[in-house]
Amino acid sequence: MIPEIGLILLIISSSLSLILSIVTISGIKLDSEYLLSYTKPLATLMCFTLITAIAILAYCFLVNDFSVAYVANNSNTQLATLYKVAAVWGSHEGSMLFWVVAIAVWTAFIINRAPKTEQHFHHKLVAVAALLIFGFCLFLLFTSSPFTRLLPDIPIEGRDLNPILQDIGLIIHPPLLFLGYVGLTICFAGAIAALLSGGLCQQYARYLQPWAILAWVFLTGGNAFGSWWAYNELGWGGWWFWDPVENASFIPWLVATAMVHSILLTAKRGILGSCSIFLAILAFSLSLLGSFLVRSGVVQSVHAFASDPTRGLSILILLVVFSGSALALFAQRVKIRSTPLGFSLLSKESLILFGNMLLVVAAISVLLGTCYPLFFEVISGQTISVGAPYFNSIFVPIAALIFLLMGFAPLQRWQSRNKLKLALILAAICLTMALIASLMMQARVNIWLLIGLFSALWIMSATGLAVVQRVAFRKYEVNNDNYGSSIRFYAMCIAHFGVAVSVLGATLVSNFETEELLRMGPGQGKTLSGYSFIYEETQAVEHRSYSAIQAQIRVVDSQDNFIAYLYPQRQTFKTNGMQMSAAGIRSGLFGDLYVSMGQKLTDNNTLMTRISHQNKL
């Protein structure tokens, strides 16, 4: 009976979302305060019913109610309580319900905290968000209900949560990613509300700016945790694998980064409002497209949530309806102005605008590489793969230009190029230092190493100099509001510094990583980058969820000094026989020693083994 209550609440939520949208739109059209007074209670009630629905789903997991198909497919009695809670969003149906619940929570928060001076804008935003919730609720009810029963054939035991999700990285990764998508949904609704209100003015942009930043932060965290998990559990090593599902979340992140900067320009200077609206629509559309790729089965990846073409088609329909309607409204309502923008070519405004253009181009290049094999297969009937060489050759040069602009922008003033000479001197110093460092690392000039080192040094130095300038001229800058609030400024510095650290890590690992794929068994060893990896023995490991063969590998340096023991595992999960790798890693400030195990090859425990030295310096 309890799962039926959850289903009824989902039906009620879909009805409430439709009623909320109709009442709000009617109140705006008729200018009826009486109708608009129902917006807050309806949004709050919709939020309550959806939260209760997902709480009921969590309860079904905790009590092992295997009559619910979603619980039976993603849990069992031996699953730890923490993973049972994570299983609520661990697969397709639950993750979509989590997405809808989060949109409803943010919508209720927005309308209840809306200032009285901008009620109509917020009412329009809530009306759009309610329509989005209605569409997602219909999707859940007709194609992906998490409360579907397995009656009368109730299994005694569940199939267990997907083994790849039984890791702290994947417990945190999906919620962060979906909260990022929720933030993009709110920005999308705000963009449509702005279009319906005559455009994105400074006041509307200032309101949307925190939501855009919050969406970007969640997306960044989601991508970071997903990459960290893949590094530890999949045995890929390296820096970025350009997996199709990784790309599906990376593409919206690139556009969201452009959107954050564009909304900053609109909020600060009142310019490029149409560009901000378009980027908000594009970012939301790409998040839906990413969900389609992950759930439709058109791309194959260990990250994929589902492979049901019906669900994929439903998401594609939502994408066409939502994004198509938004773009049509944008084409109808946007105001193209030919008046001068009022800033110089090398001002902060210009640098941000050029950076946004490059971010969108980078996103399109990754999208083309991800989707091209699908188009090629549809047209020719043959399969083709697009790998790291394409992405690196296209993305890295674009990224290098973006990094160059990232250094210049914080040093420039609004509407001015007065810090250009100082920036050029600093750039020359960074280039010289990068050239010297690259020659010390390698005997010849490696252009990619030089670009990476220069980019990292340049961003760090320029960001540091911007901080020094702000501290030195704090009184002047606060009084004249040249850099905005201190919080936003220092948040920008932290984000830019984080990008620089990532660039440095990617550059050094990509240029100095050494690896080898070989057969290894007890008593065998291999020397790599001055380290000897000695396979001492194979151990049997029993865990609550899986059994594993574990290699004990001793690592010594060139003088035979002991460095560490590494314990990579090949895990076989007891419930479904699925096999996973867990890499043995010794992390250090200047490099990682990394070993992952593949399939067992012979009866004497010889395994396909990947060893690498992830050299960071």
> What tens digit of pLDDT does each residue of 494-517 get?
999 999 999 998 898 888 888 888
pLDDT of residue 298: 63
Closest C-alpha to 170, from 241, 235, 215, 227: 227
- 549 - beta bridge partners? 540, 570
Rounded CA-CA distance 368/355 in Å is: 20
What's the confidence (pLDDT) of residue 610?
Answer: 85
With bands split at pLDDT 50, 70 and 90, how would you rate the model's confidence at 478? Answer: very low
Higher pLDDT, 198 or 108: 108
What pLDDT, on a 0 to 100 scale, did the predictor assign at position 617?
Answer: 55
Identify the pLDDT of residue 48. Answer: 97
579 DSSP β-pair partners:
572
List pLDDT tens digits, range 8-29.
999 999 999 999 999 999 999 9
Banded model confidence at residue 115, pLDDT cuts 50, 70, 90: confident
| Number of C-beta neighbours around residue 503 at 10 A | 24
Does 194 have pLDDT greater than 80? yes
Please say if the pLDDT value at position 481 is more than 60: no
The pLDDT of residue 235 is above 80: no
Would you say residue 306 has pLDDT above 70?
no
List all residues 6 or more positions away from 511 whose beta carbon is below 8 Å from its beta carbon. Answer: 441, 442, 446, 448, 449, 452
Query: With contact defined as beta carbons under 8 Å apart, do 237 and 585 qualify?
Result: no
**Assessment of whether the complete model's pTM goes beyond 0.85:** yes
pLDDT at position 551 over 80: yes
Q: How many CB atoms lie within 10 A of CB 210?
A: 12
User: Nearest to residue 130, comparing CAs of 48, 214, 186, 51?
Assistant: 186
Cα 250 → chain centroid: 6
| DSSP per-residue string spanning 277-299 | HHHHHHHHHHHHHHHHHHHHSSS
Q: How far apart are CA 441 and CA 423, in angstroms?
A: 27
Least-confidence region, from 108-122, 157-171, 187-201, 536-550: 157-171
pLDDT band at 605 (very low <50, low <70, confident <90, very high): low
- What would the pLDDT profile of 281-299 be if each residue is shown by its tens digit? 999 999 999 888 877 666 6
Phi-psi region of 413 (alpha: psi -120 to 50; beta: other; left: phi over 0): beta
- The larger pLDDT score, comparing residue 211 to residue 489, is at 211
Residue 95 near residue 176 (C-beta atoms within 8 A)? no
pLDDT at 356 over 80: yes
In this prediction, residue 339 carries a pLDDT of 47
Query: Does residue 422 surpass a pLDDT of 50?
Result: yes
Q: Which residue has the higher pLDDT, 148 or 581?
A: 148
Angle at 506 between CA 469 and CA 435, to 5 degrees: 65
Query: What pLDDT score was predicted for residue 258?
Result: 96
pLDDT band at 135 (very low <50, low <70, confident <90, very high): very high
| pLDDT per residue as tens digits for the range 374-405 | 777 778 777 777 778 888 889 999 999 999 99
pLDDT of residue 108: 94
**Whether pLDDT at 479 is above 70:** no
| 200, pLDDT greater than 70 | yes
Query: How many C-beta atoms surround the C-beta of residue 174 within 10 A?
Result: 23
Q: What does the pLDDT read at residue 336?
A: 57
Instruction: Please state, rounded to an integer, the average pLDDT across all residues of the chain.
Output: 86
Could you tell me which residues come within 8 angstroms of residue 370 by beta carbon, excluding any fewer than 6 positions away? Answer: 244, 247, 248, 251, 293, 299, 386
Q: Is 482 a residue whose pLDDT tops 60?
A: no
Q: Which residues, listed in sequence order, are joined to residue 573 by a DSSP beta bridge?
A: 546
Across the range 188-215, mean pLDDT stands at 92
Tell which wins on pLDDT, 578 or 84.
84
